[in-house]
Amino acid sequence: MSDTPRIGLTGLAVMGQNLARNIARHGFPIAVHNRTVEKTREFVDAFGGSEPLIFTESDADFVAAIAPPRAIIIMVKAGQPVDDVIAKLKPFLSKGDLLIDGGNSHYTDTERRIRELTAEGFNFLGTGVSGGEEGALNGPSIMPGGPKEGYDYIADILTAISAQVDGVPCSTYIGEGGSGHYVKMVHNGIEYADMQLIAEAYDLLKNAVGLSNEEIGGVFDDWNAGDLDSFLIQITAQIFKTKDTETGEGYLVDRVLDKAGQKGTGKWVSQSALDLGSPVTAITEAVFARFLSALKDQRVAASSILTGPSGTHSGDKTQFIADIRNALYASKIVAYAQGFDQMKLAAAEFGWNLHFGDLATIWRGGCIIRARFLDRIKDAYADNPDLANLMLAPYFNEALKAAQPSWRKVISEAVNLGVPTPAFSSSLAYYDGYRRANLPANLIQAQRDLFGAHTYERNDRPGTFHSAWGE
């Protein structure tokens, strides 16, 4: 292999550094670049001895160090910084060069960039990369979207550096336009829902069952040995075993302020859901729960004013812990069903040919939502690629049926004890709504027709009707 790289990476924050090292370690020499040259120097000094990382200084040096047609990965903060980097590199690029945005960009920005750059003879891929710092270094899940010829040029590298599960790479071409970033956005939304569901289970284990941190860690360890086996459950168990070294007393989780932050990808899923008419309740409740958590001062003030029940579960604690596990599993199925449903709506709206089984396949490893459960989703779409909703696949239908008594019991008990479980509850409400052949929307249509002559359809004959109600 010639030492002149065909690939470069600009933006050497931790994700960028680790991705560059991952590429280099797979035998692809890579030119590296950062806005501040010192950072590039330090990075190449630290790792360039054993890994083929090529130091470059200016934008012009960086581009010149790569053999055309060039592949250049951009790893900077989403938004204006991506446009700024593109504008700075553009004067030095040749027609046919490929830019790959590996950040969490909004899919509409990606669509715009593809339009603009394609018109100028360049190629552009909007590529979701999941797995945090560790994944970027040792194998992320990669979701590339945009012109297929751009993907084909870089496929060998993306496939080599991605996580592998059972010998299958966690990277595949997602589709045209902004589909790669859209799918990554939904991945993050599911991540939000998963995290919120786990947090609700924690609240119940702590406040309704009365378990200690050590015991809660043990419960998550047990859960991780079954169907719930996943990265997020595993790290949750780890969190509950971590002591506070700052004070030398107690557990670190109890010293963490209960205000959840966010960079916005979960919110984007909900915004897109409103445009598409997608009832993605679990993700949206997770976003709202983060907003509510952020109202810390108000909550502290309200805690001594607003009243409600409290107390612990009076029944068999071991059974209730098993019920919480089942409620978590059922709610998780709903969250994924909603996320996949939204991707189906988006694919229809934007003309993307998404392969849902492939998405489940590349999320099995590397990414934050990696889980044993994704094998089941992959199988469900292999059995029926046109599945209307994941909940209808035989495995998930059975799982929901089996979990249902626990699911209802946990939510009822949470309501009685005053423990907020918005994601558990909204998931069950979605399930109950989806399985109903008749909903009370007939009344809403009647009201709309009465006060605004908005008309309605009848269930016994075709046509559009307007009536004089109550006359």
**What amino acid is encoded at 330 in this protein?**
A
Q: Could you tell me the two tokens for 57?
A: 């200084």
Give, in degrees to the nearest 5, the angle at Cα 125 between 123 and 127: 165
The Cα 343–Cα 146 span in angstroms is: 16
Count of residues that interact with ligand 6PG, criterion CB under 6 A: 13
327 binds ligand 6PG (CB under 6 A): no
The residue nearest ligand 6PG at its CB is 130
User: What is the helix (H) or strand (E) element at residue 127, kind and residue range?
Assistant: strand 123-130
Q: What's the min distance (Å) between Cβ of 227 and ligand 6PG?
A: 22
Q: Which window, 155-163, 259-267, 423-431, 443-451, contacts ligand 6PG (CB under 6 A)? A: 259-267
Q: What's the min distance (Å) between Cβ of 221 and ligand 6PG?
A: 23
416-433 b/e with 16+ CB inside 10 Å = b? ebebebbbbbbbbebbee
Q: What's the min distance (Å) between Cβ of 28 and ligand 6PG?
A: 22
Q: How far does CA 146 lie from the centroid of its chain?
A: 19
Of positions 101, 191, 285, 323, contacts ligand 6PG by CB under 6 A: 191
Q: What's the min distance (Å) between Cβ of 341 and ligand 6PG?
A: 20
The Cα 19–Cα 100 span in angstroms is: 13
Q: Which window, 146-154, 255-263, 346-354, 411-419, contacts ligand 6PG (CB under 6 A)? A: 255-263
The Cα 186–Cα 143 span in angstroms is: 11
Contact 144, 180 (CB under 8 A): yes
Q: What's the min distance (Å) between Cβ of 193 and ligand 6PG?
A: 12
Active site residues: 184, 191
Site mask for ligand 6PG (CB under 6 A), range 262-301, x = bound: xx-xx-----------------------------------
Q: What's the min distance (Å) between Cβ of 197 and ligand 6PG?
A: 15
Residues forming beta bridges with residue 30, ordered by sequence position = 7, 53
Phi, psi (degrees; rounded to nearest 5) at 256: -85, 125
Nearer to ligand 6PG, 260 or 429 (CB): 260
Site mask for ligand 6PG (CB under 6 A), range 117-136, x = bound: -------------xxx----
The Cα 102–Cα 327 span in angstroms is: 35
Nearer to ligand 6PG, 115 or 263 (CB): 263
Chain residues 380-399 in contact with ligand 6PG, contact rule CB under 6 A:
none
Q: Could you tell me the two tokens for 465?
A: 């009707």
The Cα 357–Cα 146 span in angstroms is: 19
357 binds ligand 6PG (CB under 6 A): no
Using CB under 6 A, list all residues that contact ligand 6PG: 104, 130-132, 188, 191, 261-263, 265-266, 367-368
